[in-house]
């Protein structure tokens, strides 16, 4: 099949590369000429394990290409995916749909025959209705079906998630569109990946409900972690004890500094806005957003407390800046709130992240950026593990202690055992333990 992917960011690029790897002919479109030029030269605009090789393989095979010419890419396509950004709109938290509707307008002007338009972007309930309305108003002469097909990709594991999904959600009641989408996902269908056909509005809501539920699990265990500290329990044991219940499940029950990234923060806010618009409150999600925001600031205070009575003038090494490992994404990362709290307390922050330093430098220019974990720890009064990159799981504790001004570790991801760290001569602070 011929597939056009409008938007060559995280979702569009990963999806387009994977579709091409299935054997489809895929054209990825983006307005950013420098991004397209970089992609054509084999340079990825994002860090995602395995993506560079996947792109290179399919470009060489002639199945994947990149362009800024939307009209040419749309002409004759069997399926046109809209995979543009939907960031939180300033002021009200609603998803900014301007890029989605702008892409729709351009599709309407360029489409040359019957086709299927698929919203891959995360969009509020009813967005597909508006996309269809625009297409019908602009091109009443053309048979175009609009489908919702949300993505469920985890940054750092996106290729595996795309090729071995828990489920594929397709929102349409149009028979032709169903047939096209079956062909698009035929390789996965043959592998018995479950395909959920539902209404367009249900499909749009599934994405938000899924992310809000996962954000709720994270926030729940973080509050339980605080209770564990108060009563003398260990949140790791509590997480394991409840996670072994199949009705609960063990995933997303790891206590830490709060959720961040490109999805959970904006999607929970967008769901709240939709609930407000329809006068159907989702009070649990409201509490989740509030608790998570305060959680990040509390982690800053936790670090300051570990420094002792007077933190001003002391130095802290932050290990890991991105919101999770195996990505360079800094959006709503807990490190942002932690670094701000430390700066407000007069603490000097030295930082290291394997992939996120460039993005972090744009958001936190006052930090001292270092070449590795030991460089960051040099002269530090405490080292703080913020993101659980693998390289931080086996630090040389003897070397670390030698370069530090004071042997203090604050482990916000519970990477280490207390006996191992204290046995190496460190004062150790963890989460929920």
- Active-site positions read 263
Spatial CA neighbour of 388 closest among 277, 254, 272: 254
Residue 351 forms beta bridges with which residues? 318, 369
Structure tokens at 317: 């090494």
| Cα 266 to chain centroid, rounded | 10
Of the candidates 316, 297, 405, 311, the residue with the CA atom closest to the CA atom of residue 367: 316
Structure tokens at 183: 């062909």
Strand 315-319 and strand 144-148: pairing? Answer: unpaired
Closest alpha carbon to 354 in 318, 391, 397:
391
Tell me the two tokens of residue 166: 């828990």
Q: How far is the C-alpha of 145 from the C-alpha of 119, rounded, in Å? A: 11
CB 15 within 8 A of CB 83: yes
CA dihedral 115, 59, 7, 183 (to 10 degrees): 30
């Amino acid at each position: 099949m011929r597939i056009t992917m409008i938007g060559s960011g995280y979702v569009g690029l990963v999806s387009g590369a994977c579709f091409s790897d299935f054997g489809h002919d895929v054209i990825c479109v983006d307005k950013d000429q420098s991004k397209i030029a970089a992609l054509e030269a084999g340079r990825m605009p994002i860090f995602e394990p395995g993506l560079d090789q996947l792109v290179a393989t399919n470009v060489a095979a002639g199945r994947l290409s990149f362009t800024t010419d939307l009209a040419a890419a749309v002409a004759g396509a069997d399926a046109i995916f809209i995979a543009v950004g939907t960031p939180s709109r300033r002021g009200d938290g609603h998803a900014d749909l301007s890029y989605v509707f702008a892409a729709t307008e351009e599709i309407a002007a360029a489409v040359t025959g019957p086709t299927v338009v698929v919203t891959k972007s995360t969009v509020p309930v009813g967005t597909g209705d508006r996309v269809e309305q625009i297409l019908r108003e602009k091109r009443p002469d053309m048979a175009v079906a609009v489908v919702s097909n949300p993505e469920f990709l985890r940054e750092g594991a996106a290729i595996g998630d795309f090729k071995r999904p828990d489920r594929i959600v397709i929102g349409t009641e149009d028979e032709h569109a169903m047939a096209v989408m079956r062909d698009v996902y035929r390789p996965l269908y043959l592998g018995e990946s479950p395909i959920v056909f539902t209404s367009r509005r249900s499909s749009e809501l599934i994405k938000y409900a899924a992310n809000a539920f996962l954000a709720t699990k994270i926030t729940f265990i973080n509050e339980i972690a605080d209770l564990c500290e108060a009563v003398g329990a260990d949140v790791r044991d509590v997480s394991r004890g409840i996670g072994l219940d199949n009705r609960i499940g063990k995933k997303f029950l790891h206590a830490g500094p709060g959720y961040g990234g490109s999805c959970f923060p904006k999607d929970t806010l967008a769901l709240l806005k939709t609930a407000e618009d329809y006068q159907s409150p989702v009070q649990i999600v409201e509490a989740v957003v509030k608790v998570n925001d305060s959680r990040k600031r509390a982690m800053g205070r936790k670090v300051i407390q570990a420094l002792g009575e007077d933190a001003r003038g002391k130095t802290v090494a932050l290990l890991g800046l991105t919101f999770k490992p195996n990505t360079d994404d800094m959006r709503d990362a807990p490190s942002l709130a932690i670094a701000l709290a430390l700066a407000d307390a007069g603490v000097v922050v030295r930082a290291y992240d394997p992939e996120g330093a460039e993005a972090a430098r744009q958001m936190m220019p006052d930090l001292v950026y270092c070449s590795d974990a030991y460089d960051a720890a040099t002269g530090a009064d405490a080292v703080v593990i913020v993101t659980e990159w693998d390289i931080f799981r086996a630090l040389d504790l003897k070397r670390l202690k030698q370069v530090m001004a004071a042997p203090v570790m604050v482990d916000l991801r519970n990477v280490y055992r207390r006996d191992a760290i204290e046995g190496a001569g460190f004062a150790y602070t963890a989460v929920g333990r």
